[in-house]
């Protein structure tokens, strides 16, 4: 069991955490970054990345995270393979405990624990994730030019992503388990008016179909009618899961203000939480954009906010 003292503790990694670490280290804050259960976050399970600025060719998500980690370490960040299991934000310095029993005592904290896309929980979904199954239309829609794709969900996210996919796909099929959507009326109207979109009501995906040769890819979905239990098959080249995201904030419940969806509540346009000296960046506080580049931008903002706070509260 060790005790670590630092001006700045960064909880979590990914684009937000690594960028915060880079800026904080360059500001001589000597940050400690606890990497968490999945260092690199969601990009570690993302294959082709084509929309991160600075790369003319397609890059791999894990490679990008490895580069960010190496850069954070190169400029002086102390990275620790641990997972924070308890926090005390009631007074400064803040005290956080790792799963192994180590204590982290910090003057400021940046939370970058991210969010996870909710998945259907199918074995076939896991098998083809990154090979035709995606949780982000903005990230991966470009790869399905002139193909038929399916998307499942019924809220604003599902409808918005279905509309977005029409910019690339030849046909988009929205699959919803009920007979009406939860999305806002204006979005529903746009959906119904788009000639490239069809809706299959009262249906759920039972299995994602695909092939291994000549390359691993999705070929369709097996659907079950929720009223009759009748099975049917829909041929598609891609499947998008849009049933929501879950911010990784269970650890902070009761310690910090969360919004009604569980995201950390920050002052608009900043990374400031309701606890002075505690900041949040990336998908853990962003329910709207959820992109690597916006998370990185917020990581920069959080480091600058922490630096400013430490200057004012030495």
pLDDT tens digits, one per residue of 97-114: 999 899 999 999 999 999
pLDDT tens digits, one per residue of 70-89: 999 999 999 999 999 999 99
Same CATH fold, 120-242 and 3-116+245-312? yes
Q: Name the CATH superfamily for 120-242.
A: FAD/NAD(P)-binding domain (3.50.50.60)
* Residues 6 or more apart whose Cβ sits within 8 Å of residue 105: 3, 4, 5, 6, 93, 94, 95
The reported pLDDT for the residue numbered 289 is 86
Mean pLDDT for the chain?
Answer: 94
How far the first Cα of the chain sits from its last, in Å, is 28
- Residue position matching structure tokens 């624990």: 113
Choosing from 112, 139, 266, 286, the catalytic residue is 139
Q: Where are the alpha helices (DSSP H) in the chain?
A: 14-26, 61-74, 123-127, 137-140, 156-165, 185-193, 292-312
pLDDT tens digits, one per residue of 142-181: 999 999 999 999 988 899 899 999 999 999 999 999 999 9
CATH for 3-116+245-312? 3.50.50.60
8-state DSSP, 213 = S
Choosing from 82, 140, 286, 305, the catalytic residue is 140
| DSSP-based three-state secondary structure for 98 | strand
Nearest alpha-carbon partner for 7 in 23, 22, 24: 24
- State pTM to two decimals: 0.77
- In Å, what is the CA distance from 293 to each residue of 43, 208, 235, 249? 12, 30, 33, 21
- Please state whether the peptide bond connecting residue 183 to the residue before it is cis, i.e. omega within 30 degrees of 0: no
User: Where are the chain's structural domains?
Assistant: 3-116+245-312, 120-242
The answer to whether the CB of 194 falls within 8 A of the CB of 221 is no
Choosing from 112, 136, 283, 286, the catalytic residue is 136
Active site residue 112: no
Q: Categorise residue 146: left if φ over 0, alpha if ψ from -120 to 50, beta otherwise.
A: left
8-state DSSP, 144 = G
Active site residue 189: no
Q: What mean pLDDT is predicted for residues 122-129?
A: 95
Q: Categorise residue 52: left if φ over 0, alpha if ψ from -120 to 50, beta otherwise.
A: beta
Active site residue 96: no
| DSSP-based three-state secondary structure for 252 | helix
- In Å, what is the CA distance from 30 to each residue of 77, 265, 285, 306, 307? 6, 27, 24, 12, 11
Cβ-based burial of 54 (10 A; exposed 0-12, middle 13-18, buried ≥19): exposed
């Amino acid at each position: 069991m060790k005790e670590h003292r630092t001006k700045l503790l960064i909880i979590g990694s990914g684009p937000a955490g690594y960028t915060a670490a880079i800026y904080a280290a360059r500001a001589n804050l000597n940050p400690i970054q606890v990497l968490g259960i999945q260092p690199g976050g969601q990009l570690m399970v993302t294959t082709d990345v084509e929309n991160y600025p600075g790369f003319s060719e397609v890059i791999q998500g894990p490679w990008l995270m490895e580069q960010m980690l190496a850069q954070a370490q190169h400029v002086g960040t102390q990275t620790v393979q641990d997972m924070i299991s308890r926090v005390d934000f009631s007074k400064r310095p803040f005290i956080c405990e790792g799963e192994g029993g180590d204590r982290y005592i910090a003057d400021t904290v940046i939370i970058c624990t991210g969010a996870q896309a909710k998945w259907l929980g199918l074995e076939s979904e896991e098998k083809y994730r990154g090979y035709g199954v995606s949780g982000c239309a903005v990230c991966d829609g470009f790869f399905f030019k002139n193909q038929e794709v399916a998307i499942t969900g019924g809220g604003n996210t599902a409808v918005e992503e279905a509309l977005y996919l029409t910019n690339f796909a030849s046909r988009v099929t929205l699959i919803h388990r009920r007979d009406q959507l939860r999305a806002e009326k204006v979005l529903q109207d746009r959906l119904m008016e788009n000639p490239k979109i069809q809706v299959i009501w009262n249906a759920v995906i039972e299995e994602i179909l695909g092939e291994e040769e000549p390359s691993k890819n999705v070929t369709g979905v097996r659907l079950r009618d929720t009223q009759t239990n009748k099975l049917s098959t829909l041929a598609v080249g891609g499947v998008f899961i849009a049933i929501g995201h879950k911010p990784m904030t269970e650890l902070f419940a009761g310690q910090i203000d969360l919004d009604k969806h569980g995201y950390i509540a920050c002052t608009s346009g900043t990374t400031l939480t309701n606890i002075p000296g505690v900041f949040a960046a990336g998908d853990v506080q962003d329910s709207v954009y959820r992109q690597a580049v916006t998370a990185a931008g917020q990581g920069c903002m959080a480091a600058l906010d922490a630096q400013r706070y430490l200057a004012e509260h030495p």
